[in-house]
Amino acid sequence: PSTYDRAYNAMLGAMSDQGVRVTDAQQSTGVITGSRGNITVISTVAPRPDGSVEVAFKTRGNIQEDPKLIDRIGASYNARMGR
């Protein structure tokens, strides 16, 4: 699979690993949205001209409900990418 596909699938898996219920996943745009309790998670992957990808995770809502959620998603993503 392409770098983009690997990153996208790793993001989707990382969110699931951490109990985030995916509510929308658009591989063509690279955006995945989900929720865990009262926290919304938005993940994006975007191709770069050199063939690499830029990945970002954002949370909003009642982040105090699970302040380490974003860190765990990032760790799961890195593990899935073999880092």
Output the pLDDT for position 3.
93
9-50: per-residue pLDDT in tens? 999 999 999 999 999 999 999 999 999 999 999 999 999 999
Confidence check: pLDDT of 1 > 90: no
Opening angle at CA 44, ends 40 and 81, nearest 5: 105
Report DSSP letters for the chain, one per residue.
--HHHHHHHHHHHHHHHTT-EEEEEETTTTEEEEEETTEEEEEEEEE-TTS-EEEEEEEEE-GGGSTTHHHHHHHHHHHHTT-
